[in-house]
Structure 1
Amino acid sequence: MIDVLVSGGGPAGLAAAIHTALRGMEAVVIEPREPPVDKACGEGIMPSGVAALHALGLDVPGHPLRGIRYMDGVHSAEAEFRHQPGLGVRRTVLHSALHQRAVELGVRFATTRTEVVRQDDLGVSAGEWRARWLIAADGLHSPLRRALGLHLPGSGPARYGLRRHYRIAPWTDCVEVHWSAEGEAYVTPVGEDCVGIAVLSGTRRPYDEHLRAFPALAARVHGRSASTVRGAGPLHQRARHRVAGRVLLTGDAAGYVDALTGEGIALALATARAAVESLAAGRPHTYEAAWARLTRRHRLLTHALLRAARYPATARLVVPAASRLPAVFTATVRALQ
């Protein structure tokens, strides 16, 4: 019998499959899309995520990131990462590297979908496949989370993200977070002549209209678009539990707060490893607590920032406060890195 089925071939699913193979177990990834898979993503990886990639045996090409900079057109605050840089990398480049590593380790792939699973005391079945365990890494709007009765409605106003790339040399070695009363814009260098700009907002409207809320940024990249716009949302997704019998939820499928702190990839890699470690130890029930521990700081800070961003009056205070309290801002960034 297969040891682990992985539903979903994004970063979380591929990382789970790689960790399974590195522990001498057999993994099969069920993913209907052909690699490389692109999606709306800020494309900045925190230092902990870079270390997690190294643990998978990967050195992914990209643009080193020195830290995080908050800006509002008047004030700015900057915090450097403590021990090692982060990494700006195109989502397709990251996906290709993870997929190739999985192939090298003997992971098998099935080009199909998983929307229903059946499980008993000995294993779990998904379509024609049967395994001892299944890791659900099928994304933000996880069909398996819903099928297993683990989905909970999101709370608070819905937020959405849009991303486009621009053919321009990076002018910063930080992830720049531009704040306005209407949302945030994330600038991430991803190559020597390419930056990605993602906008986050509770208002649904075209990307170019969102970008006009940041006039200096819009003027800098005008006429240099290098990719189509991709979107995602609503961003806030909740799960009742992360473990349901022989099924473990990881990555965005396990629950997602918001892209505001830019930790999506790092958390996906960390929770994937924790899921596999719990299975390798024969203690899958321990994954729930491990997930809560790994994501706690991210969830607390993101919820706090979302409360501030929800109202124009408090959103305008975020960057001035960070500017006046640089030690606090630096400590906060380093606590999440």
Structure 2
Amino acid sequence: MSTSRVAPLPSRTWTALPVTPVSARRAWALLQAAYPLPLPPPDRRGPPARRHTCPVTTDAPRIDIPTSADVLVVGAGPGGSAAAAHAAAAGYDVVLADAAAFPRDKTCGDGLTPRAVAELDTLGMGDLLDGRPRLDGLQLNGWGRSVYVPWPSGRFPTYGSAIARTELDDAIRRFALGRGARMAAPAKAVDVVLDGGRITSVVLDTPAGRHRIRVGQVIVADGVRSGLGKILGRTWHRDTAYGVAARAYVPSPLSDARVMGSHLELRGPDGELLPGYGWVFPLGSTGLLNVGVGALATAERPASMALRPILEHYARMVGDEWQITGNPVRIASALLPMGGAVSGVAGPNWMLVGDAAACVNPLNGEGIDYALETARLAVARLGAGDHTEAWRAELVEHYGTAFSAARRLAGLLTMPRTVPILGRPGIRSQRLMSMVVRVMGNLITPDDADLVARAWRSVGHLSSRVDDRPPFS
């Protein structure tokens, strides 16, 4: 990692700050928790919080890059913005930095599992989905069969939803600003200053030049490529399964349907069976469907396929069923580290969350639920001392066994000949597919004690014992 471009800053003790508006906000947060009062907290920055159901706009107030922050969050996707919102609500002085100007798009990611819906509600944004598609289940297709599987009941809601990333990301970002976080965008984190492994300053590259911001803690949420993570030593290991995916939008009168379609038997234009699946789901009042294809790969079996023609072929294949009235537009693709296949997820005062920590489901490519969850978990331990080993241990505790089992199964699915062996008999049983959906949707919790949950955890523990490289290591 490079520090040569930045002059060292004068030393500063972060554990003995004098009384400032920041510490006043912390005191207010504690007072309000004990004695709730209908008064605004002291030293509010910016206007009162707006309802997050407002239209996507670019009218967020422009501010100068701050010179310091208790918590710097790098990346304003769902994970980063959620972290900023949680940290600001806890009384920290928070700066949220992103390399892009908002609103901006992201590949895939428009679909929300019940677990993601639940986490949005925990954040305080449950009503964001009012008026959005309510997806009650999945229509699974393959090998001449089609079976409808409702989302399983349990701790999570019995429905998913969908919202374009241009809207979702901007809504959570604005929600964080309403809670008191300050925004720096476009501002790309390009370097750090370290003192004994701790980040003392982060260098932000902006249209106006480079700025240094002194930091107490850093939450890295800058996505699958994680530029800042790489500077800090994050390494992606491709010996376990990873994903490649492409997404597009198509017009359809069925954009208010209440089901997500999934084709487990994915074939290319030449009829070749591919190690992946296709999806299609409605985007409500937009009049559009999200249609896409994803494939699994490993370093040993890379996904050497052209995704665009496969996606276009898939859109034609489902065209009649979903009444598609136009050609795919806004085609975009992404490469996805999955299942905790990274090392270097934390240091003394920094943590990686969401996609940056490869918290992506190896069986369905879903990452928004993990991004929102890891953001909340990271903020909860901001004042808990050195994160280097503790954050990795927490990620392993929450996701390690499930990720180990899921990526081992995903590795099998990179071999096309295993897909029909597993898929053909499975799709003939709705009960079996309900179990599959529960596992693939990450809808098993540590509190679940039924046979499926116990079996999945047992598989995960066994898989973890034989992993050459366990998750997050």
Fold-level similarity (TM above 0.5): yes
The 5 A counterparts of 1:18-167 are 18-58=85-125, 59-61=127-129, 62-72=132-142, 74-81=144-151, 82-83=153-154, 84=157, 85-111=159-185, 112-120=187-195, 124-127=200-203, 128-155=212-239, 159-167=243-251
Does the Cα contact within 8 Å between 2:142 and 2:427 map onto a contact in 1? Answer: no
Distance in 2 of aligned mates of 1:215 and 1:93: 27
The aligned residue for residue 282 of structure 2 is 189
Query: Which ranges of structure 2 fall in alignment gaps of 5 or more residues?
Result: 1-67, 204-211, 267-272, 296-302, 444-473
Inter-CA distance 298–196: structure 2 relative to 1 (3 Å threshold): farther
Distance in 2 of aligned mates of 1:301 and 1:165: 32
Of 238, 261, 278, which residue of structure 2 is paired with 1:176? 261
Does the Cα contact within 8 Å between 2:280 and 2:292 map onto a contact in 1? Answer: yes
Inter-CA distance 196–259: structure 2 relative to 1 (3 Å threshold): farther
What are the superposed Cα offsets for residues 40-92 of structure 1, whole Å, 9 maximum, x if unpaired? 11421111211111122212232111123321151234432215211111111
- SS state of the match for residue 48, structure 1? helix
Query: Which ranges of structure 1 fall in alignment gaps of 5 or more residues?
Result: none
Amino acid at match of 1:261: N
Distance in 2 of aligned mates of 1:7 and 1:190: 29
What are the superposed Cα offsets for residues 136-170 of structure 1, whole Å, 9 maximum, x if unpaired? 11110111222122213312576421111112124
Tell whether 2:375 aligns with 1:272. yes
Does the Cα contact within 8 Å between 2:359 and 2:371 map onto a contact in 1? Answer: no
Does the Cα contact within 8 Å between 1:6 and 1:27 map onto a contact in 2? Answer: yes
Inter-CA distance 230–306: structure 2 relative to 1 (3 Å threshold): same
Amino acid at match of 1:145: G
Distance in 2 of aligned mates of 1:190 and 1:305: 30
Does the Cα contact within 8 Å between 1:42 and 1:198 map onto a contact in 2? Answer: no
The aligned residue for residue 230 of structure 1 is 332
- What CA RMSD, in Å, does the superposition of the two structures yield over aligned residues? 2.6
Q: CA deviation at 1:178?
A: 0.8
Does the Cα contact within 8 Å between 1:308 and 1:318 map onto a contact in 2? Answer: no
The 5 A counterparts of 1:246-285 are 246-256=349-359, 260-282=363-385, 284=387, 285=389
- SS state of the match for residue 70, structure 1? strand
Inter-CA distance 299–176: structure 2 relative to 1 (3 Å threshold): farther
TM-score by length of 1: 0.89
My pick for the range that moved more, 249-258 or 133-142, is 249-258
Give the share of equivalent positions with the same residue, in percent: 26
Question: Going by fraction, where is helix more abundant, 1 or 2?
Answer: 1
Q: CA deviation at 1:256?
A: 4.7
Distance in 2 of aligned mates of 1:259 and 1:240: 17
Q: CA deviation at 1:210?
A: 3.4
Inter-CA distance 322–143: structure 2 relative to 1 (3 Å threshold): same
Of 273, 292, 300, which residue of structure 2 is paired with 1:198? 292
Distance in 1 of aligned mates of 2:337 and 2:138: 22
Distance in 1 of aligned mates of 2:171 and 2:378: 21
Q: CA deviation at 1:18?
A: 0.6
Distance in 2 of aligned mates of 1:278 and 1:253: 18
Of 375, 380, 394, which residue of structure 2 is paired with 1:290? 394
The aligned residue for residue 326 of structure 1 is 430
Q: CA deviation at 1:8?
A: 0.8
Inter-CA distance 266–299: structure 2 relative to 1 (3 Å threshold): same
The 5 A counterparts of 1:208-219 are 208-213=309-314, 216-219=317-320
Q: CA deviation at 1:206?
A: 4.7
Distance in 2 of aligned mates of 1:320 and 1:259: 20
Does the Cα contact within 8 Å between 1:159 and 1:233 map onto a contact in 2? Answer: yes
Q: CA deviation at 1:290?
A: 2.2
Amino acid at match of 1:205: A
Does the Cα contact within 8 Å between 2:354 and 2:370 map onto a contact in 1? Answer: yes
Inter-CA distance 280–56: structure 2 relative to 1 (3 Å threshold): farther
Does the Cα contact within 8 Å between 2:345 and 2:357 map onto a contact in 1? Answer: yes
- SS state of the match for residue 32, structure 1? coil
Q: CA deviation at 1:120?
A: 2.8
Inter-CA distance 2–158: structure 2 relative to 1 (3 Å threshold): closer
TM-score by length of 2: 0.65
Inter-CA distance 292–279: structure 2 relative to 1 (3 Å threshold): same
Distance in 2 of aligned mates of 1:304 and 1:269: 25
Distance in 1 of aligned mates of 2:102 and 2:178: 15
Inter-CA distance 171–319: structure 2 relative to 1 (3 Å threshold): farther
Does the Cα contact within 8 Å between 1:140 and 1:252 map onto a contact in 2? Answer: yes
Does the Cα contact within 8 Å between 1:267 and 1:294 map onto a contact in 2? Answer: no
- SS state of the match for residue 333, structure 2? strand
The number of residues matched between the two structures is: 337
